[in-house]
C-alpha cells in the first residue's frame, strides 16, 4: 500500500509546518484550496488560525460543503487549535451564526485559556504516546463536553488549568487544542498517519473479502 496522501487545508495557519511533519511521519502531503483537491486526499489536516475567518474563506472558496460531505463519509481529519473548532459539532463563546464542518461530538470553547498574552506550554500525558508531549497553546480552545463515542486523549495536569480537555479522538477524527506542528515532535502526526493507514487497510480488506 502506498503512502497516504494527506491534505492540509490551506486557508490560514501553519500549512507548511503541518506538511513537513506529515512527510516526516511517512505520508505524502497536498495543500488543499479547491474542491477537486478535497476529493483527491485520503485524509485532511485543519490547521490553526482564526476559526470564523477560516469558515468564511471555506465558503468563499466553495470548500465548506465538500469538506463536510467527505467528513460525513468517513474522511479522517486532524484539527489543531482553530481546526479543533472547525471539527466540533457545538461551540461555546462563538460568534453569532458561526459555522463548522462538524462531525466531532464535542462542545468546544473558543479562547478558553485567554488571549495571545496568555499563551503557555505544558507537558501532557497522551493516550497512545510513549512519553509526555510538550505542547504549545496559543489562544487555544478547550473541550468542555464530550459525547459517548469520544475518547479523551490528553488533559492539562498543571497550574490552574488542571483537568481541561485538550486532545480528543472519535473514530476517524483527531483534534488538539495546541499546535503540534511547531514543536519539532512529530508523534501526533505519526499517530494520525497510523489512523489513516489503519482505515485504508480496513477498507481494502472489506473490498477484497
- Of the listed 18, 37, 142, 181, which one is catalytic? 181
Report the distance separating Cα 58 and Cα 168, nearest Å: 24
- Of the listed 18, 179, 189, 190, which one is catalytic? 179
Catalytic annotation present for 181? yes
- Of the listed 81, 142, 172, 190, which one is catalytic? 81
Q: How many other C-beta atoms can be found within 10 angstroms of the C-beta atom of residue 170?
A: 18
Which residues are known catalytic residues? 81, 179, 181
Amino acid at each position: 500500500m502506498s503512502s497516504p496522501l494527506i491534505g492540509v487545508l490551506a486557508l490560514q495557519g501553519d500549512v507548511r509546518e503541518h506538511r513537513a511533519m506529515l512527510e516526516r511521519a511517512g505520508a505524502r502531503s497536498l495543500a488543499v484550496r479547491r474542491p477537486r483537491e478535497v476529493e483527491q486526499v485520503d485524509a485532511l489536516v485543519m490547521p490553526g488560525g482564526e476559526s470564523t475567518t477560516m469558515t468564511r474563506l471555506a465558503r468563499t472558496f466553495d470548500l465548506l460543503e465538500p469538506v463536510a460531505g467527505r467528513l460525513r463519509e468517513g474522511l479522517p481529519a486532524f484539527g489543531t487549535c482553530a481546526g479543533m473548532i472547525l471539527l466540533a459539532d457545538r461551540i461555546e463563546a462563538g460568534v453569532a451564526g458561526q459555522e463548522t464542518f462538524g462531525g466531532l461530538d464535542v462542545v468546544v470553547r473558543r479562547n478558553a485559556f485567554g488571549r495571545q498574552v496568555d499563551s503557555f506550554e505544558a507537558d501532557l500525558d497522551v493516550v497512545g504516546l510513549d512519553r509526555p508531549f510538550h505542547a504549545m497553546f496559543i489562544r487555544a480552545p478547550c473541550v468542555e463536553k464530550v459525547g459517548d463515542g469520544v475518547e479523551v486523549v490528553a488533559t492539562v495536569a498543571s497550574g490552574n488549568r488542571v483537568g481541561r480537555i485538550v486532545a480528543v479522538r472519535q473514530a476517524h477524527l483527531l483534534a488538539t487544542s495546541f499546535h503540534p506542528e511547531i514543536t519539532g515532535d512529530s508523534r501526533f502526526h505519526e499517530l494520525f498517519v497510523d489512523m489513516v493507514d489503519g482505515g485504508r487497510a480496513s477498507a481494502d480488506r472489506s473490498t477484497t473479502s
